[in-house]
Chain A
Amino acid sequence: MADAPNSPGPSPRPFGRPLSPHLQIYRWPITMVASIAHRATGVALAAGTLMLSWWLIAAATGPEAYGVFARVAANPVGEIILFGFLWSLAFHLLNGIRHLAWDIGYGFRVPTAKLTAALVFAGSLLLAVGAFIVGFMVKRGFGI
């Protein structure tokens, strides 16, 4: 049976043009990953404001309420959540500065945008790991 005129069946591609990339085979440009991560970290930080609020309320309520918060925060799951919060904040902060630079007209060249995206990923990881290490040192009594 012959293909209908507009069927997606085998057909010669006389000009060798690329097909539209599909999401599953599309190599994500780092600028796209940074854009998606900016939204995702924003949502994560929104959840983080609940923790922030809990921290403040616990500190204002008394030792017992604060003890509950402190135990949850010191739990391995709590520590993973806190690290996720720290990284999200670091990423959203650095990428937010990147956005502010765009707002005043800087950093739009494609190589620049790719470089700053990579710098934001690397910088946010460094900041988050660094902050986490400082947190552990403070907890063990080294002070800052």
Chain B
Amino acid sequence: MTARDLRTPLAQVEGLGAARAGTLHFWHQRMTAVALVPLSLWFVASALAYVGAEQGAVAAYFADPVNTILMFLFVLASTYHMSLGLQIIIEDYFHHEGQKIALLMLNRFAAFAIGAASALALIRMSLAGH
């Protein structure tokens, strides 16, 4: 703390800045990015292995618990990473407050919808395989 720092001691300790969110967005974007490096490589390998395959073969692949979990993690990390990235783009390019807030909400809703739909599909394949 320097004498010129105008922030209160509490604000300095919290480190949340003017937007009250601190580095949370940055950090979560990086964590999901790191997680997505191996997960997306696994996803592409899985998808390529089942190009032109029958539905039953694909469903059986995702009924394997290891694959169910990996795919669930890939869906979770990618939809979260997606919503964090699109949020920044919306904040950068939409300056009308109402429009911006509507798009930010739509962005989160869409991420949850895509994630939930994908997760339900995985659960159905997982249960059908047992």
Contact = CB atoms under 8 A, between A and B. Distances in A.
Interface residues of B, number: 37
Interface in A121-144: 131, 134-136, 138-139, 144
Given A43-B86, A43-B89, A62 B49 contact: no
A53 B40 CA distance: 15
Contacts of B117: 53, 56-57
B118 A52 contact: yes
Size range of the chain A interface in the assembly: 35 or more
B5 to A, nearest CB: 26
A59 B51 contact: no
A103 interface: yes
Contact of A63 (B56, B82, B120): B56
B114 A139 contact: no
B121 A103 contact: no
Nearest to B127: A60
A46 B34 CA distance: 18
B126 to A, nearest CB: 9
A67 B54 CA distance: 8
A86 B45 CA distance: 11
Contacts of B128: 60
A131 B86 CA distance: 27
B89 A62 contact: no
B69 to A, nearest CB: 14
A50 B62 CA distance: 18
A4 to B, nearest CB: 33
Contact of A60 (B89, B114, B121): B121
B85 interface: yes
A61 B47 CA distance: 18
Interface string B42-70: 00100111111011101100100000000
Interface of B: 30, 33-34, 36-37, 40-41, 44, 47-52, 54-56, 58-59, 62, 71, 75, 78-79, 82, 85-86, 89, 114, 117-118, 120-122, 124-125, 128
Interface of A: 39, 42-43, 45-46, 49-50, 52-53, 55-63, 65-67, 70, 74, 86, 89, 93, 96-97, 99-100, 103, 131, 134-136, 138-139, 144
